[in-house]
Structures are given as structure tokens and as C-alpha cells.
Chains A and B, each alone.
Chain A
Amino acid sequence: MEQNNIQSEDTLKFEQQEVLAEALFNSIGDGAIATDEFGKITRINPTALRILGYTEREMIGSWFPKKIIALTDNETPINLIDRPITKAFLTGRTIIEKTYYRKKNGQKIPVAVTVSPIMLANKPVGAIEVFRDITLEFEVDRMKSDFISLASHQLRTPLSAIKTYSHMLLDGYMGEINDAQRKSLRTILSAANRMNELISTLLNVTRIESGTITITPKTVNVEKIAEEVNKEHGLLASDKNISLAVQSRSKQPCLIKTDTLILKEVLSNLVSNGIKYTPEGGKVTVDIQSRRNDVLISVHDTGLGIPKYSQENVFTKFFRAHNVVKQETSGTGLGLYLVKGLLESLGGKIWFESTEDKGTTFFFTLPKSLRSQQITTEAMEHA
């Protein structure tokens, strides 16, 4: 009798805990879905049902990846192996990602997803996913991008006029000028160029972050682009008595199919960084090596170098090394973050080697032939 009483008390306690767990699960403000070790849905809370537009009956017992379709940006279903829930099962780790889900009515919604495997004795026995609808965040982000884009274009128009007329004066379109006037015009141009670079950076960062950068592939001669970039930086380099060079490791011209403007932007950023952070009398060298499927380009400087403790942050937004900030106050810390994003949009990779007070070499690769879903047209020019 006493034994029976203990048992029924335990059962009651267990049932109470179950009810409490259910209540907790259902009270989560974000969508929550639990699965067993095979990915079958065992629990789903009202918020998840509301976001996805299904009923509990339709979801319980369904196979998660089949019932809830995850989509890429361009509406293609994401492969099972790339789904956060699969990654969580395979790695045993919590996976945090942004993706798109298709609602029951077919509508695509952006969601922020966190999936954790439920581990028991070091084995996954299920998974729990918490997700939220981030449509509003997406919209605000898009509006921010549109605003920056528009503002940048508007800023550039008067800047173009300042630059064009300064150049016209310098080039003698309005008659002869004296040395003092020439010097002043160069100062105006240099400031306008800095402003232009800032606007370009801001625009490109916005495009990279919003995924709206457009890529136009053309056959380009890499050496020629590097020479052009060096030429553009000639004045800056000669002011510091820094020599600029382009080295090519093959006799044939290095021709690749990529986006010229983006390649130029990347090289320009790296060369201008090299000049900026190299003491007087130093050297900045661009080295080009054509390989079987890609081209390896490096930009080497004999500059300040990046301190070891800062190296892991080099490609993060707004990063500026301490030794650099001490000597050079201007700079946004966006350049290398942008370079990495731009290269990734071209299917390239970037890394570096650096020794403090000796110099830095940035290496990057670009595929010989760019393939991208974003490519919609091909320009007519050839290198």
C-alpha cells in the first residue's frame, strides 16, 4: 500500500514536471521546435505555428527538413547537408544562422535560427531549434542600404565637378597657371580623392553587406591593372619616396575573367595601405603569379607590420592596429574588411604574413574564370 502511494506520488511529480516543461516550451516568445534523433518533430510551440502557418497536427511526427523548407536568397531550396539542423547533428554544436523558411501559404520569410543538439551521454538524441521572423530587420537593413547608396551618389556629383574643374585648371584648359596655383590645385584634388575613396568604401561596404553588388566579368590583363593602380598612387608614393613595382612571374600576359572595377578596388586598397603604413624610402611591390586554375597576387610592403596580437582581427570591420593608429590618424578601418568581402564576391581568398617593423605581405587568389549567379551580362571589352 505504502509502495503504491510512493509510486503514484512520483508519477504525479513526473506529470507535473511534464506539464511545466510543456508550459515553458509553449511560452517561449520565439518559434521553438524539438525533434528526435532522426529529425522528426516531437514538439512545436504556438509561436512557431503562427510564423509558419501550420497547425500542430500537421507538424508533429513530420520530418523537420521536409516539412519546413529552407531557401536561399534566390528561392532555391537549401541542401539537407547545409541546413542548420543537419550541421547541429553532425557537429554536436549549436548552429546560429540566418536563412529563409517557406510558410504553408508559400510565402518566403527571413528567419534567424539557433539549433542545438540535445546531447545524452555524448550522443545526440534530438535537436531543439529556436527561430524568429526577421522580416522587419531585413526591411530596415534594406532601407539603410538604399539611404546610404542614394546619399553617396548625391555626394559624388558635386565632388565630380570639383575634381573635373581642378583637373581642367591643372591641365591648362583655362590657360596657364603658376606654381603656387598648381600646388593649391593638387591639394584640392588630393582632398577630393580622399573624399571619393571614403564614399566608394561606404557604398561598397553597403553593397557587400546587402548582397547587392553587381559583378560584370571581362577578360582583363592583371599586370596592366596593377600598373594602372600603381600609376594612380604614384604621387602619394613619391611624396614619401616610396618605390612602387609590379612583378610578373610568367612571360605571357596574365589574363583572367573577372570584374575589373572590383579587382582594381582591391589592389588599390592594398597598395594605398602599403604606402600609407610604410616609412619614407620603403618599397611596395605587387607580385603576380599565374597558376593552373587561379592567379595568386601579393602586395608586399616594407612597412610597420601588424602586431601579432592584432593579426586575427585584421579583416574585421573598423579594425585599426595600435601601432598604425599612433602614426596615422586618418583611416576608417573598413578597407581590409571591404577587400575581403569584394574578393569573396569574385570567388577569391585573402590572407597575409606580417612581421612588426619589417613589413606585411597580403596574398590573394582569384579564379581564372569567374562564375556567378549574379553575372547577367558580359562587357564587350578585352584587355
Chain B
Amino acid sequence: MANILVVEDDKDLNNAYKIILESEGHSVEAAFNGQEALKKLEDFEPDLILLDLLMPIMGGLEFLQHYDLLGKHKDVKVLIFTNMENSPEVTEAYDLGAHRCIIKSWTAPQNLARVVTDTLENKAVSSTPA
């Protein structure tokens, strides 16, 4: 099972993702903004980061600008989990090395677990889980 860092400012959602992913056997750490995530990453080596884009203090895009996903951390998978579909921010996240983008309000827990598993296994999956 994998090490996963959940970066989400909404406490309820952050907690929900932790419950869902832990029930799948993953080891989950939580951060509530990009800055906290960078700090967590000093001594936590994730296989996957579940990243929100709109967050206070440091948002997802700024986090990606600091976290060298295209170089030093190229083995880490980043799943953008946002409600900003079809927005320039999502395009920018892909440019910065994000692997996939899924829409929070359309994604049921079991689908989140499936997308995480598929991404970790590097499987080609449909981009818009229900």
C-alpha cells in the first residue's frame, strides 16, 4: 500500500479523504495548505499527493512551483482534486507535472479510491469518474 499526502484546506473533506484512503490500507498524512504540505514533505516521502488548488496561505499551483515534480520528485504522482474544471489553473497544474485532475463534487468516495489505485499503478483510466 502507498504513502499518500492529502492537501486540502476544508477540514471535513480532508478528514473524509483520510478515512476513505486509510480504509483501502494506505498510509495517509494530512496538510491544510501548500506551505504545510512542503513542511510535511521534509520527513514524509509520499507515493501520491492529493492536491487541492484553491487554498489559503499557499494554493496548489504555488505548491507545485516549489515542489520539483518534473525533476527531483518525478516519481511522485500528483492528483489534482478541485472544483475548478475547465479552468486555466488546471492547465497550469498539468504544465507543472500533475498527472490527473478530478472534480471533487462529481467524485464519489469509491471512485476516489479507484482513481488513486489506478494512478499509483500507472493505469490509463477514464478522466472523469462519477
Q: Total interface residues on A, using CB and 8 Å?
A: 43
* Segment 7-37 of A: residues with Cβ below 8 Å from B: none
Contact mask A189-225 → B, CB, 8 Å, 1/0?
0000000100110001001000011111010100011
Contact A165 B124 (CB under 8 A): no
Contact B86 A160 (CB under 8 A): no
* Segment 155-213 of A: residues with Cβ below 8 Å from B: 156-157, 159-161, 163-165, 167-168, 171, 173, 196, 199-200, 204, 207, 212-213
* Stretch of A109-117, A305-313, A374-382 at the chain-chain interface: A374-382
* Stretch of A38-46, A90-98, A241-249, A257-265 at the chain-chain interface: A257-265
* Stretch of B27-35, B37-45, B57-65, B102-110 at the chain-chain interface: B102-110
Asked whether B95 is an interface residue with its Cβ less than 8 Å from the other chain, the reply is yes
**Alpha-carbon separation in the docked complex, A182 to B96 (Å):** 42
Asked whether A75 is an interface residue with its Cβ less than 8 Å from the other chain, the reply is no
**Alpha-carbon separation in the docked complex, A215 to B124 (Å):** 20
Asked whether A151 is an interface residue with its Cβ less than 8 Å from the other chain, the reply is no
Contact A160 B83 (CB under 8 A): yes
Return B110 CB to nearest CB of chain A, in Å: 6
The residues of A that contact B101 with a CB separation of less than 8 Å are 379
- In chain B, what residue has the closest Cβ to A379? B94
Asked whether A383 is an interface residue with its Cβ less than 8 Å from the other chain, the reply is yes
Contact B127 A381 (CB under 8 A): yes
The residues of A that contact B106 with a CB separation of less than 8 Å are 196
Contact A214 B88 (CB under 8 A): yes
Contact B16 A168 (CB under 8 A): yes
Asked whether B70 is an interface residue with its Cβ less than 8 Å from the other chain, the reply is no
Interface centre among B23, B100, B108, B124 (most CB of A within 10 A): B108
Contact B99 A380 (CB under 8 A): yes
The residues of B that contact A261 with a CB separation of less than 8 Å are 85-86, 103, 127-128
Contact A377 B128 (CB under 8 A): no
Asked whether A317 is an interface residue with its Cβ less than 8 Å from the other chain, the reply is no
The residues of B that contact A382 with a CB separation of less than 8 Å are 124
Asked whether B54 is an interface residue with its Cβ less than 8 Å from the other chain, the reply is yes
The residues of B that contact A204 with a CB separation of less than 8 Å are 86
Asked whether A153 is an interface residue with its Cβ less than 8 Å from the other chain, the reply is yes
Return A268 CB to nearest CB of chain B, in Å: 10
Given A216-B90, A260-B127, A381-B127, A165-B12 contact (CB < 8 Å): yes
The residues of B that contact A264 with a CB separation of less than 8 Å are 128
Asked whether B84 is an interface residue with its Cβ less than 8 Å from the other chain, the reply is yes
Return B115 CB to nearest CB of chain A, in Å: 11
* Segment 66-103 of B: residues with Cβ below 8 Å from A: 83-88, 90-91, 94-95, 99-101, 103
Contact B109 A377 (CB under 8 A): no
Contact A379 B86 (CB under 8 A): no
Asked whether A232 is an interface residue with its Cβ less than 8 Å from the other chain, the reply is yes
Candidates A167, A215, A224; contact of B108 at CB < 8 Å: A167
The residues of B that contact A171 with a CB separation of less than 8 Å are 108-110
Asked whether A50 is an interface residue with its Cβ less than 8 Å from the other chain, the reply is no
The residues of A that contact B12 with a CB separation of less than 8 Å are 161, 164-165
Given A231-B130, A377-B91, A214-B16 contact (CB < 8 Å): no
Contact A216 B19 (CB under 8 A): no
**Alpha-carbon separation in the docked complex, A271 to B106 (Å):** 17
Candidates A173, A213, A215, A383; contact of B23 at CB < 8 Å: A173
The residues of B that contact A153 with a CB separation of less than 8 Å are 54, 83-84
Asked whether B20 is an interface residue with its Cβ less than 8 Å from the other chain, the reply is yes
Return B50 CB to nearest CB of chain A, in Å: 13
* Segment 348-379 of A: residues with Cβ below 8 Å from B: 376-379
- In chain B, what residue has the closest Cβ to A195? B105
Residue contacts A-B, CB under 8 angstroms, 29 given: A153-B84, A156-B83, A156-B104, A164-B13, A164-B104, A164-B109, A165-B12, A167-B108, A171-B110, A173-B23, A196-B106, A199-B105, A214-B86, A214-B87, A214-B91, A215-B86, A216-B86, A216-B90, A216-B91, A228-B128, A261-B86, A261-B103, A261-B127, A262-B86, A379-B94, A379-B127, A380-B94, A381-B127, A382-B124
A residues contacting B by CB (< 8 A) are 153, 156-157, 159-161, 163-165, 167-168, 171, 173, 196, 199-200, 204, 207, 212-216, 218, 220, 224-225, 228, 231-232, 259-262, 264, 376-383
With contacts A164-B104, A167-B110 known, what are 6 further pairs, Cβ within 8 A?
A160-B10, A168-B20, A168-B109, A204-B86, A264-B128, A376-B95
Closest 3 A-B residue pairs measured CB to CB? A156-B83, A161-B12, A160-B104
